[in-house]
Amino acid sequence: MDYVSALVPPVVMAVFFVGLIVTIVKSQGGDRKGKEDAAVDAALARAEATRQTGGVHEAGA
């Protein structure tokens, strides 16, 4: 019975890991892909604008 108690935790973790991967793969793309892409693009644009504004401000100082 020791082998059963030794194998249960890795098997349980493997099942949850596979479930996590399946969930991630299924959530990629689909009808939400455009919305997610737009949110990432907006965040990158804000970061780029902040970096450029900070660079101009530092050069003038």
pTM, two decimals, is 0.46
- pLDDT confidence tier of residue 22, bands split at 50, 70 and 90: very high
Tens digit of pLDDT for each residue in 24-56? 888 877 777 778 788 888 999 999 888 888 755
Residues 45 and 3: their CA atoms lie apart, in Å, by 55
21 vs 29, residue with greater confidence: 21
Residues 20 and 23: their CA atoms lie apart, in Å, by 5
Closest residue by Cα to residue 52 from 41, 37, 60: 60
